[in-house]
Structures are given as structure tokens and as C-alpha cells.
Amino acid sequence: MKRNFTVRHGALDGLEAFLCVAQHRSFRRAASELNVTPSAISQAVRTLEARLGAVLLTRTTRSVGLTEVGEKFLVRAKPAFAELVAAGEAARESSQRPAGTLRLSAPRAVVPILLQPLVASFRVAYPQIEVEIAVSEKLVDLVADGFDAGVRPGQVLPPDMVAVRLSPPFRLVIVGTQGYLTRSGRPERPEDLRNHACLRLRRSGGALARWVLKKKGGTVELAVSGPFIANDFLTLLEAALEGQGLAQVPEPIAAAALAAGRLVHVLEPFAPLTPGVFLYHPHRRQVTPKLRAFIDHIKSRAASGKRGK
């Protein structure tokens, strides 16, 4: 059975004063150490005794001693108070230096090409910080799920978040194998996609993503059809590499396959430009030192032209 537990307001008031008097056997020396007046020390101890309903100290004009109750109280209270002080110092130290576990939520596609190289160099610079990456296509609630920050494309960032750029803007490109194009023909206009096997993305909310194509003065969204659906871009890319159809994916994740000739561009003049990828975190008055260190590392690498390389 769960017990209700509360710390009574002021429960620790006077404890430090009592411990200091018990150590020095003197109100005056305790007052000097704590930088208060002897009368303030005396009042604090009297308040503590009144709250406990017990006399802890015996006082004469010449000396201060402990009652039997005071001796027993000192034995238990002194180490407990020392532990509280140590806990406070540890919390203060942790709040001022980068340490602990940095938890990041990121979609699968950005991890190998962008996040892992960045984290590797960060771990060299800050070996005392552990980094945990949770792969998810879902736009998670960072605070509720215990994440320090997330990584997402700029077009889907929540509006109330602070964003830090991780990549330059990039295109969404349509790609396929030469073998597929030889069998099915090469689309020359967006309307031609109606006759092709388009590999589609299922968003975390359940809807099928439309393909976005550039048109004069803006973009247009097309509902396409095809034999394969996945919830992440890397799986769609792998299906395209197997010749299953055409996929629309961020250009950086297809760059190596395009350079090697394993994939070719389709409808390249219609490829729209996207804002790029960003690290995002809640708008807090004070960012934790570990997250601040990671953000500074990102900016430092961006300034040196390295980014995720």
C-alpha cells in the first residue's frame, strides 16, 4: 500500500544551527561560523526544540551541553544533514558542468549520414557525456518522453521549439534504377507518375505522404500509387535500389547511390528544395550544460565547414 509522504514546511529549520552549537559547545562560536548573531542562533535552536517537543541542549552561563535526547538526535541528524549538503553540492556541480546522458530522438534516415558522425566527434570532445539516440519517425513529446532534444526536417518542426540548423537546405529527389526505367519507361512530366510504381511513405500519424514537386512559383502535392509502403526513407531507398519502383527521398540519403550509378534522377527539374534538418529543443530559460555543449559543438563544426562529416 502506497504511503502518503510530505515534508513539512520548515522541517529542517534550525538544524544547521543546532549541529553547529553541538560541535562547538558554544552559541557564540556557532554564530561566528555561520555569520549570524548569537541571538539568531539561540532563537533557531529554540524553534527547533519547540517543533520537536524536546529539549536538545542544556545551557548555563559557562557552558553548553547535550541532553540525552539531544545526544540521540545528534547521532542521527548529523550524518543525514551531511548527506543533504553533499547531495546539494553534487546537484550544483552537475548543473554547472557538461555531464550525464544526452538523449536525442531522431528519424532513422538522418542517423548514419548526419547524426552519428556529429556524435562521434562530440564524444571525443566531451568523453564524460553519454549520448543515447532513440530512432523514431514519430514527432515525440520531448519533455514527456524524457528527451533533451530531437532531430527533424525543418518543415515539420513544432512552432514552439528552439531550432539549431544541422544541415543546409536540400532537395527532395525522385530516384529509380536504370533497370526499372528500362522496363517501365522514364516519366517526363509529373502527370506521368500515374503510370509508375511509386514507393510511398506512411507518416507517423497514419496518413500517406503526398509527393511534393516544384512548379512555377511554388510547389504542388501529388497523390501517387504503388505496390510498396514504408514509414521511413531508408526503407523506401532500399526498395528503389531493388528495382521495385520510384522513390521520393531527401537527396543526401540517395547521394552515394546516385554517385555510384546505382540510382538515377527522375524529373530532376521538379525537385523541390526543403529547409534542411534541425536539432530542436523546448524553449527553456536555462539550457542544461550537456545540451549547451552539444549545441556549441554543432555550431563550431558548422563554422569550420565540417557539419556531419
Question: Is the confidence at residue 153, as pLDDT, over 70?
Answer: yes
Question: Boundaries of CATH 3.40.190.290 in the chain?
Answer: 170-274
| Dist. CA 66–CA 248, nearest whole Å | 80
C-alpha closest to that of 254 among 173, 141, 193, 191: 173
Question: Which of 62-66, 84-88, 243-247 bottoms out in mean pLDDT, i.e. has the lowest?
Answer: 84-88
| Backbone φ, ψ for residue 90 (5° rounding) | -65, -40
Length of the chain, in residues: 309
| Cα–Cα distance measured from residue 82 to residue 87, given in angstroms and rounded to the nearest whole number | 9
The domain made up of 15-96 is a member of CATH 1.10.600.10:
no
Cβ neighbors of 233 (< 8 A, separation 6 or more) are: 107, 108, 109, 201, 247, 249, 250, 253
Dihedral-angle region of residue 297 (phi above 0 means left; psi in -120 to 50 means alpha; beta otherwise): alpha
Q: Which three cell numbers stand for residue 108?
A: 532513422
**CATH assignment, 100-167+277-303:** 3.40.190.10
The pLDDT value given to residue 226: 95
Residue by residue, DSSP assigns 95-129 as HHS--EEEEEEE-TTHIIIIIHHHHHHHHHH-TTE
* Longest alpha-carbon distance in the chain: 106
Looking at residue 216, the DSSP 8-state letter turns out to be T
Decide if 201 contacts 173 (C-beta within 8 A): no
In this predicted structure, what is the pLDDT of residue 8? 47
Segment 256-279, tens digit of pLDDT: 999 999 999 999 999 999 999 999
Contact 197/227 with Cβ under 8 angstroms?
Answer: yes
Mean pLDDT of 121-140: 93
- Domain(s) labelled CATH 3.40.190.10 in the chain stretch across 100-167+277-303
Domain(s) labelled CATH 1.10.10.10 in the chain stretch across: 15-96
Using CB atoms within 10 A of its CB, is residue 199 exposed (0-12), middle (13-18) or buried (19+)? buried
Tell me which architecture the domain covering 170-274 has in CATH: 3-Layer(aba) Sandwich (3.40)
Could you tell me which residue, 129 or 88, shows the higher pLDDT? 129
pLDDT at 9: 46
3-state SS, residue 258 = helix
Mean pLDDT of 99-124: 93
Which secondary-structure segment (H or E) carries 75? helix 68-96
pLDDT mean over 16-22: 90
Higher-pLDDT residue of 12 and 187 is 187
Spatial separation of the C-alpha atoms in residues 286 and 239, rounded to whole Å: 44
The answer to whether residue 177 scores a pLDDT higher than 90 is yes
- Which residue is it, cell 541532553? 67
Residue 1 has pLDDT above 50, yes or no: no
All cell numbers assigned to 21 = 552549537
Q: Using CA of residue 94, residue 166, residue 264, residue 184, what is the dihedral sign? A: positive
Per-residue pLDDT at 143: 86
C-alpha cell at 88: 546539494
Mean pLDDT of the chain: 89
Instruction: Please compute the mean of the pLDDT values over residues 215-221 and round it to a whole number.
Output: 88
d(CA 297, CA 307) in angstroms, rounded, equals 10
Tell me what percent of the residues of the chain surpass a pLDDT of 90: 59
- Nearest Cα to Cα of residue 274 among 173, 189, 134, 178: 173
CA–CA separation, 104 vs 131, rounded Å?
A: 8
The pLDDT of residue 209 is above 90: yes
